Amino acid sequence: MCPSQMKLSCTLFLCDPDLSFEKSAQLVSQAGYSAIEIPGALQANPEKITKDDVKEIRSILERTNLDVSGFCLLYPKDMRHVSPVRSKRARSLRYTKRLVDIASEVGARILVWGSGYARNIPPRIPRKVGMERIVELLKEAGEYAAERNVTFAIEPLNRYESNVANTVGEATELARSVASPAVRVLCDTYHMNIEEGSIRDAIVHAAGMLAHVHVSDNNRDIPGRGHIDFDEVFSALKTIGYDGYVTLEPILRRDISRDLVEGKSYLQKFLG
């Protein structure tokens, strides 16, 4: 088997939502990761970010010698993709396209399409209608993203966070219904531990569609502090030839610097 080309990234928005991008980048860089994942709604919100903000993000990346693995936490809490109000759906599309622009400007190639509150289908909207609106949004946004070399990775979220695309199979089906090369899927070990009968089988099922990976243990801590079998996870990723980023997405409440180093050390042994 050829050596793995996977690279390690990290995002810290679950640790402290008030942590500045500069401080996050310093912590991630000092721990030895190759890249950082930026929480869009917090640090690259298209409705708030300025050209100077974008320049500052690029400057911080240069100073910390980090690439950008992608944007996560894309949408603010009040965004609704399937709203019955047309103007609110239009806002969602404008926001999504502008996210693509910002991602392209800072060198991010992946937009993690999670944000369960934004994509959830309210009880008053028929599911068929809700899914049609989601596909419509992703089709138009995907066409826009493809022209800018940016990819949406649909993140399966567990049933307690979303009523759309809970499993890798459902996310894959959704991506295929969009039928855009810029709309693919993501595997997240935390959510998969809740929803999948077999994490390995789910990863293998995503072969050819997998664009991004998030890792944390079943308790949202760094891998190795819970019961997920990460040897199985990485064996499956290697089996399908995955060569993208693996982003650590933990909740850390203790010494962030120490835990990031420990997390990298644990994950690194699976990449050889």
Angstrom distances, CA of residue 155 to CA of 29, 66, 184, 211: 25, 24, 9, 10
Contact predicate 205/192, CB 8 Å: no
Separation CA 35–CA 230 (nearest Å): 21
pLDDT at site 4: 62
User: Annotated catalytic sites, by residue?
Assistant: 155, 249
Separation CA 58–CA 66 (nearest Å): 10
Given the DSSP bridges, would you call strands 245-248 and 210-215 parallel, antiparallel or unpaired?
Answer: parallel
Structure tokens at 254: 């203790």
What's the pTM? 0.96
What single-letter amino acid sits at 224? G
Q: Which residues pair with 153 in a beta bridge?
A: 112, 184
pLDDT at site 16: 87
Q: How many helices (H) and strands (E) does the chain have?
A: 11, 8
pLDDT at site 272: 75
Side-chain-side CA neighbours of residue 251 (13 Å): 6
**What are the φ and ψ backbone dihedral angles of 226, each rounded to 5 degrees?**
-140, -150
Neighbours of 62 (CB within 10 A): 9
In order along its 272 residues, the chain shows pLDDT tens digits of: 444 689 999 999 999 888 999 999 999 999 999 999 999 999 999 999 999 999 999 999 999 999 999 999 999 999 999 999 999 999 999 999 999 999 999 999 999 999 999 999 999 999 999 999 999 999 999 999 999 999 999 999 999 999 999 999 999 999 999 999 999 999 999 999 999 999 999 999 999 999 999 999 999 999 999 999 999 999 999 999 999 999 999 999 789 999 999 999 999 999 97
The DSSP letter of residue 254 is S
State the residue for tokens 């949406």.
Answer: 152
Four-way CATH pick for 7-268: 3.40.228.10, 2.40.50.100, 3.40.462.20, 3.20.20.150 = 3.20.20.150
